[in-house]
Amino acid sequence: MNIVHGWGITETLQYITLNDFNSWKQNYSGYPLPNSEILINKDNNEILVKGPSVINSYYKDEEKKSNLFYQI
């Protein structure tokens, strides 16, 4: 069985980074998927993700959307 390591959060609907079978490293979550960008906010170390797999709203919760989504 082959296992591939990736990283994602609920708001990305899937993984956002992925290792291939030949490049696994400890403490490394892989390469960003095509058409995705990942930035680390230097002020608070928050991970910012931009790409086609990021949701654009929360179902029936516009207030939560306006507080959590940034333009990067």
User: Residue 69: its pLDDT value, please?
Assistant: 57
Is residue 63, in this structure, part of any structural domain at all?
yes
- Summarised one tens digit per residue, pLDDT across range 33-70 is 888 888 888 999 888 888 888 777 666 766 665 566 55
Three-state secondary structure call for residue 9: coil
- Name the residue range of residue 34's domain: 6-68
DSSP of 48-65: EEESTTS-S--TT-HHHH
- Residue 62 within a domain: yes
Give the CATH number, domain containing residue 33: 2.30.38.10
The structural domain count of the chain equals 1
SS3 content of the chain, % helix, strand, coil (to 5): 15, 25, 60
Asked whether residue 1 is assigned to any structural domain, the reply reads no
Over the stretch 15-35, which tens digit does the pLDDT of each residue have? 888 887 777 777 778 888 888
Nearest-CA neighbor of 18 among 42, 51, 44?
A: 51
Residue 22 lies in a domain: yes
